[in-house]
Amino acid sequence: MSDIRIVEAVETDVPDILQMIQGLAEYEKLSHICTATEAELRATLFGPRPAAEVVLARQGGECAGFALFFPNYSTFLATPGMYLEDLYVKPEARGRGVGLALLKRLASIARERGYGRLEWSVLDWNEPAIGFYKKLGAEPMDEWTTFRLGVDAIGALADRNG
- Measure the CA–CA gap between 102 and 11, rounded to whole angstroms: 19
Marked catalytic residue, from 73, 88, 115, 133: 133
Q: Specify which residues 4 forms β-bridges with.
A: 59
Three-class SS state of 41: helix
Angle formed by the axes of helices 38-46 and 14-27, nearest 10°: 110
* Among the listed residues 2, 28, 4, the one whose alpha carbon sits nearest the alpha carbon of residue 121: 28
In the residue annotation, 133 being an active-site residue is answered as: yes
- Measure the CA–CA gap between 87 and 21, rounded to whole angstroms: 9
Given the DSSP bridges, would you call strands 118-120 and 53-59 parallel, antiparallel or unpaired?
unpaired
Catalytic residue ranges? 133
